[in-house]
Structure 1
């Protein structure tokens, strides 16, 4: 079988499980960095109708992903920065107490589907599925209003936050993003 994506550079950390508990700084850009989401006026981001849809879908997406928390975010004219927390223990403690009190002698089904995904394994409830869900739902809603108007950049940037100092650095970056936004090069400078 021909490998379609053999020359594509991989941007994810090899052998890292992106569904692990932790904090992740994510940047999602629009296609060709087109300013779909609104404008900055007087150091304030003013969302337009596309920006409002993106904002609503971001919140809805996090409500459907258990154990994923949106700690901080900013929607800019042509990109979105967010800090995502994955924390299984916030809900699992309560679930474990409930399960302990119930009859746990039920059968545990084992998946029998041995078909492999041609393009590699996509982890359920991972950062990639979260972003894929958000981007897909946002595009569908925008296209319902204005067909073929909106596109995302195919990938996203991620950074695994390693400690408190790193976390604070990214919080400050998000908080200052609007006043520091000059043009599309702002994203490139931070991501280097």
Structure 2
């Protein structure tokens, strides 16, 4: 770990080259709540029972699904302490970067909820093969039913 100040460690950049994110393609995203707090609800028998904040996040995912030209949320799921998104970006039509898209979403939901709900940053995975895309779609669909096995469960 490197330090830029004696009290504050610097964050390691985990992103690929910026040019990669400008290309057309699918990206799998995970965005976690602040301190992985289960703000969005609880899962019982494989079904999310959302809180009001969880309902707001879901409504905004629907609204953002086709909000920006060239950027489309193909599939998403709200979990108790994170969300998963499968996003398609068309480089010829996109009016916003992937990072800008996520920042807009996080900012909008934070304002509506009246409090900070998101951790800094997000996790991304560029989908490289059709098989990878199918696996991710199945993962998103089955995620609530496998909540106890999720790496974010109980954190």
Q: TM-score, normalised by structure 2?
A: 0.85
In 2: Cα distance, 1:39 partner to 1:15 partner: 36
SS in 1 for 2:65: helix
Q: Conserved in 2, the CA contact under 8 Å of 1:24 and 1:159?
A: yes
The answer to whether 1:186 aligns with 2:116 is no
Structure 2 stretches lacking a partner, 5+ long: none
User: What is aligned with 1:71?
Assistant: 74
Of the three residues 55, 59, 68, the one matched with 2:62 is 59
In 2: Cα distance, 1:40 partner to 1:57 partner: 20
In 2: Cα distance, 1:70 partner to 1:45 partner: 20
User: What is aligned with 1:137?
Assistant: 108
* RMSD of Structure 2 on Structure 1 (CA): 2.4
SS in 2 for 1:82: strand
Of the three residues 177, 181, 186, the one matched with 2:143 is 177
Q: Conserved in 1, the CA contact under 8 Å of 2:36 and 2:152?
A: no
In 2: Cα distance, 1:6 partner to 1:66 partner: 38
In 1: Cα distance, 2:66 partner to 2:131 partner: 28
Q: TM-score, normalised by structure 1?
A: 0.69
- 1:14 shift after superposition: 2.4
Q: Tell me the alpha carbon deviations over residues 106-129 of structure 1, each in whole angstroms, 9 at most, x when there is no partner.
A: xxxxxxxxxxxxxxxxxx611100
Q: Conserved in 2, the CA contact under 8 Å of 1:70 and 1:82?
A: yes
Structure 1 stretches lacking a partner, 5+ long: 93-123
